[in-house]
Structure 1
Amino acid sequence: MSASVSRRTFLGIAGGAASVLGLVACGGNDAATSGDDASAASNDSSDKTYIVATDTTFAPFEFTNDANEFVGIDVDILAAIAADQGFTYELNSLGFDAAVAALESNQADAVIAGMSITEERQEKYDFSDPYYDSYVCAAAAEGGDVSSLENLNGMTVACKTGTQSASWAESIAEE
């Protein structure tokens, strides 16, 4: 495999493994889930339906299945919280950056998505307790051009903006 394929592999794994998952700005939420979950929650609480934004491209945490339904660990957690706390929600798949922008512009009540909890973000958002710890890692094709971080010198490495892996990559870029 070429070095660019190795970089893509590196980027995909590093970006995927780089987040701490949390429900941001816990205001309650409804998802485009089965009617049973939403109706059970609506019997217990007010008539307000919370708007929850997400990025459904982060399997197994949140993604869209073959039936075009939102599924995953985060979706299940959200449904369980809504049932327990008695609220309804509408889950909107916006992509990560747009989900955060929707929260900041009051177009969403909460975000459920993989997000690293940083001091800067804690100043802006009210996080739930984290329920998954991750780390930055890298992978490259066996026998490829990349076998160590030093092999990345002079190469372009891409990471998803705003992720723990992007912060890490920036921190070692000049080393």
Structure 2
Amino acid sequence: MTGTALAARPPVGTRTATHPLGRVLRAGRPLVCGILNVTPDSFSDGGRYCRSDRAVEHGLTLAAEGADIIDVGGESTRPGSRPPTTAEELARVVPVVEALAPRVPVPLSVDTSRPEVMRAAVAAGASMVNDVRALRSPGALVAAAQRGAAVLRVHDVAATRDVLTVLDAVGPV
């Protein structure tokens, strides 16, 4: 995937979104989002990428293997996990976004519900905000909008830590 290929004009009728670095996302097909958890207690990778150097290496691999978006998250949503402080989350996310932004040909998304982390990650090169708490934190929507970031809003039926209980109660979606 090259910058030229991403910037090429899409076919007529294809919905697109362009982010601040000029990269184009085409919405005419499903997009692949590479998940890059930079937490020591990630439920999906067991904390394999909590060191910045490993996280950056994995982010480069995700882009090389075809991810359309790379989503960088510094807070585990594993049920029962201890939320990091804002300072901890910033220290996990921002260096990875700063290192990846100039090196990958795809948009970076920051997975956070904290306005401070949204602002810092977008300033570091993220162009999308993915908030699993559906922008309920005071100031979250404003923080994303202030820098022109795209917002991925989840369909949220319960607080994050209660999702498994709710899903058990409602059954398959």
Q: Which has the higher contact order (CA 8 A, sep 6+)?
A: 1
Of structures 1 and 2, the larger Rg is shown by 1
Calculate the TM-score normalised by the size of structure 1: 0.27
